[in-house]
Amino acid sequence: MPDALKLGFVPFTRLRGVLVAFCAENLKFGPATKAALSAAEAQLRRAAAADRFTGKNGSVLDIVAPSGLDAPRLIVIGTGKERELKQRDVVKLGGIAMGRLPSRAAEATILAEFGAGALKPDQVADLALGVRLSAYSFDRYKTKRKEGEERPEKVEVHVACANPAAAGKAWAGVNAVAEGVVLARDLINEPANVLYPGEFARRASALSQLGVSVEVLDVPAMKKLGMGALLGVGQGSAHDSRLVIMRWNGGKRGADPLAFIGKGVCFDTGGISIKPAANMEDMKGDMAGAACVVGLMHALAARKAKVNAVGAIGLVENMPDGKAYRPGDILKTMSGQTIEIINTDAEGRLVLADVLHYVKQRFKPKFMINLATLTGAIIVALGQEYAGLFANDDKLVERLSKAGEETGERVWRMPLGSEYDKMIDSKFADMKNTGGRWAGSITAAQLLQRFVGKTPWAHLDIAGTALGSPQTDINKSWSSGWGVRLLDRLVADHYER
Ligand code: BES
Ligand code: MN
Ligand code: ZN
């Protein structure tokens, strides 16, 4: 994919480079597309017949040197039966369009029109979002390209539409979200020798350029607050832990903020309860929850969302060491509750216990949503399609589920209850940090719930959705940046004044 993507909006009359068009079943084109491609219509029909292309959803017809057009290539993408398209469908079509460009192409125009006719400016921008996300790649550590994999330094993609000015306006907001997703992906893909807690905190601090106020708490500051659980996890690392608080105040002055909390374990070896070697490298992504929170705060600030929001991320590295915490240790959390350590690999919940309590007490938020690559068990339960959702508030569940269906970042509610809660009672302390093999994701969530009090709260276990992502039309990268679009949508739909 290109090193740099230049995206812009143009009228239907200004078509340059490779052309990408959409059609519905039965080769049904919108009027502007039909007019633009009329010179090549006969060839197009012959090619479609030869390829048995009818416009089925996701199918593609690729014509080299289309007759009568200046374009080196015409790519037609099927959108299937005409139906109400959700945001996720439109974004996906943009991704397909970008993914289908020949890797050498330096310029392309996508005709933003479906069979049914012109797209609304918001939809044109969503199409561009798909282009942007599909074009993302993380190759800053590749110093050479193989022969045949050379790519143009810059790719220009024009999105042709009825009202380029209106689309450009809509894009300003959507681009803010795209940048947030890209930022999250970059942070997650970054190796742990580069991105340790201090460096992560520095990168989060760059949000101040957008008007976000950023505070970084170091180890002495957290000691003073009594954050024994977070600090216990980080004490075996050569890299000091950090807590970063980001605040965006675009809403009513003094209105209670929304709070987003992320697990930021920059590397999770398991600690003294060390993990097996296979796939341990993936644990550089154990800070995906924190990356999502930073990406979301970027999105909210860059589009000047009319909301007050707090982002809080607990940044640690979980290492085995002479100074590391051990099984049997008892840690005292900021809330005063004590936790007996059974397994030092169940560290994320310890970090979150202190951050949740701190945010609840300091900000009295309208709700708290935390994101964490918390348990392998959620991957066993849900695979990579849905994130696990645990919550004490039905309204929040309903809104998150709806936003998930719209954006395609879907969530599935899992149970909580006193029977599960009992499983983490401890002989020696108020609770223990694991509840055994059964219901592993639920007992992890029960521990978190012991730190949220009555605040409406949702916990998203993103171990399956955030890392080692399957290749999709809108993500070719190891990390998807999962959650930024979901939460931005939640905020946009329900919490902006
Ligand atoms: N970070 C892991 C969970 C994880 C596993 C995330 C795979 C992404 C991919 C977490 O800290 C962990 O190690 N959890 C343990 C908990 C167990 C010790 C109770 C797990 O899931 O095995
Ligand atoms: Mn772990
Ligand atoms: Zn972990």
Which of 345, 380, 432, 467, when mutated, tests ligand 1's pocket best, judged by the most ligand atoms within 8 Å of its CB?
345
Going from the Cα of 407 to the center of ligand 3, the distance in angstroms, rounded, reads 26
CA nearest to 288, candidates 397, 194, 205, 370: 370
Q: Which residues lie with the beta carbon below 6 Å from any ligand 1 atom?
A: 268, 286, 343, 345-348, 373, 375-377, 434, 440, 463, 467
Integer Cα distance of 373 and 445 in angstroms: 12
DSSP string, 394-446: HHHHHHHHHHHHHHS-EEEE----HHHHHTT--SSSSEES---STTHHHHHHH
Strand bridging mode 73-80 / 60-64: antiparallel
Q: Strands of 154-161's sheet, edge to edge?
A: 4-11, 154-161, 107-111, 18-24, 73-80, 60-64
Ligand 3: centre distance to CA 166 (Å):
44
Q: What 8-state DSSP symbol labels residue 28?
A: B
Q: Which two tokens stand for residue 231?
A: 């600090």
* Residue 42 burial (C-beta neighbours within 10 Å; 0-12, 13-18, 19+): exposed
Amino acid making up residue 286: D
Q: What is the pLDDT of residues 206-219, one digit of tens each?
A: 999 999 999 999 99
- Tens of pLDDT along 272-303? 999 999 999 999 999 999 999 999 999 999 99
Mutate which of 233, 266, 282, 286 for ligand 1? The one with the most ligand atoms within 8 Å of its CB, which is: 286
pLDDT band at residue 3 using 50, 70 and 90 as cut-offs: low
Statement: residue 92 has pLDDT above 50 = yes
**Index of the ligand 1 atom closest to the CA of residue 376:** 21
Structural tokens at position 472: 């999709």
Quick one: which atom of ligand 1 is closest to the CA of 275? 13
278 Cα: distance to centroid of ligand 3 (angstroms):
15
In this structure, the residue with its CA closest to atom 13 of ligand 1 is 345
Residue 263 pLDDT > 80, yes or no? yes
Q: What is the pLDDT of residues 333-358, one digit of tens each?
A: 999 999 999 999 999 999 999 999 99
Find the 477 Cα to ligand 1 centroid distance in Å. Answer: 22
- What span, in angstroms and rounded, lies between the C-alpha atoms of 393 and 178? 29
Confidence bin at 1 (pLDDT 50/70/90):
very low
Q: Is this model's pTM higher than 0.95 or not?
A: yes
Mean pLDDT of the chain: 97
